[in-house]
Chains A and B, each alone.
Chain A
Amino acid sequence: MPAVKRLALILATLWLTAQTALAAGGGGEFIVIVADSRKLTGIMAWWANLYNESHLYFTALTVVLIPLIGVIFGVLADFIMHFIGIDLSSRDLAEH
């Protein structure tokens, strides 16, 4: 399958999984929530303002940050376990 078709197929599948993800907790009424940034300073204030100004940018940043932070902490845990001496590349057990 050509790379473009494969990419289109993956993107279409990802798009279609929306409902699966939403299944985790059901929907909810659409209520507009505004973050109160008056009590906040620095990065927290910037973050709350970004939420109020554009949900699109806020979403884009969230979607990038979540896997990135996950990978950083995952790699850190990897490093610690590797340092202890645990083999993290294979599993001997092969039973059902």
Chain B
Amino acid sequence: MDWLYVLMPIAGVKIFWPGLIILGIGVGVIGGFFGMGGAWMVTPGLNILGFPMAFAIGTDIAHMAGKSLISTMRHGKFGNVDYKLGMIMLIGTVVGFEIGAQMIMWLERIGQVGPVVRWMYLVLLALIAWMVFADVSKKRKKEREAIAAGKEVDKLATGIEWHKTLHKIKIPPMVTLQAAGITCSAWLPILVSFFTGWLAGILGIGGGLIRMPALIYLIGCPTHVAVGTDLFEVMISGLYGAASYTYKGRTELVAAIIMLIGAAMGAQVGSVATKYIKGYGIRIAFGLAVVGCFISVLLKLIPNYVPELYTICDVTATVLILGLVAAMSVYITVKMVQGAAKEVAMKKGKA
């Protein structure tokens, strides 16, 4: 069975290549569907396959850049990418990130970086999960009330509508964002991206997990546009990140290419699946992914207080993340296949 293993020329280890393709497909599907890079899912996967940590991050970012490019192209054709919004948000993200990174240096100096970051991450994930499910429950309540009153259910109705309040702030310059269908003060996306960038800088994550809900709840993007625009940002930062990590000698291109074979296909499936799943379906699935991430971070935090639980927590966290990746990618793929089959059948019916 030697042919199932490929020698990585830089890292010098033999890796089970079908595992890399399967992992690529899984994160490709999820990334294309939710609009995030998914580093928190890839790293444990690469670890299990026997990848040295020194190369895991760089390889992950390199494949992420290619995958996000494909997803952005696909979402762009669907009209899901607001390029203007993406470019405006890059400014705030970069400045916010720099300040966040400086704060981390300061916390390191006073020896508080570990606990602060981990607990902040947990609070943030809990907040995002609450926001998503509160939004869904509020929307359902509105629908029930409309039905009870004998009115027609508004398909464009949303649950949480914080963005409507924020859109009332009309500090010039005002910008019209065509794809998102929003006219607001340019300061709103700049400040929101500054905030999400600051959080990403402090937490040491890519930011898709925070930016996607922020685009929906604070800026008021439709779910599909939030996914597409977030992927556009991931693509730009991913390409630069790939260059930066490779220059430091931390990218195993052979592994990134093998993963990309799966991810390229998966990203298409995930992006096309957004055609068939309603915005709120995406939000609910995203909320579940956030809950999974919350539990895995919690499991990694427990051994700091109860060291004897390290092995069990570590294994459970890895199994949970990989199980979540598998379950979600299967769900999205099934939905995509069902939707495509329906579309093809309808076309045949018309012909």
Contact = CB atoms under 8 A, between A and B. Distances in A.
Interface residues of A, number: 61
A42 to B, nearest CB: 10
Q: Is chain B's binding surface mostly helix, strand, loop or mixed?
A: helix
Contact of B250 (A20, A23, A28, A45): A28
A71 B56 CA distance: 23
B206 interface: yes
Q: For the complex, would chain A's binding face be called helix, strand, loop or mixed by DSSP majority?
A: helix
A21 B238 contact: yes
A25 B265 contact: no
Interface in B83-135: 87, 90-91, 93-94, 97-98, 101
Given A19-B201, A30-B248, A66-B260, A24 B61 contact: yes
A91 B246 contact: no
Nearest to A86: B340
Contacts of B9: 35, 37, 40, 44-45, 47-48, 51
A55 B94 contact: no
A95 B74 CA distance: 19
6 contacts: A28-B57, A55-B248, A69-B260, A74-B70, A77-B70, A78-B268
Interface of B: 7, 9-10, 12, 37, 39, 43, 54, 56-57, 60-67, 69-70, 73-74, 77-80, 87, 90-91, 93-94, 97-98, 101, 155-158, 197, 200-201, 203-207, 222-224, 236-251, 253-254, 256-257, 260-261, 264-265, 267-269, 272, 274-276, 278-280, 340, 343-344, 347
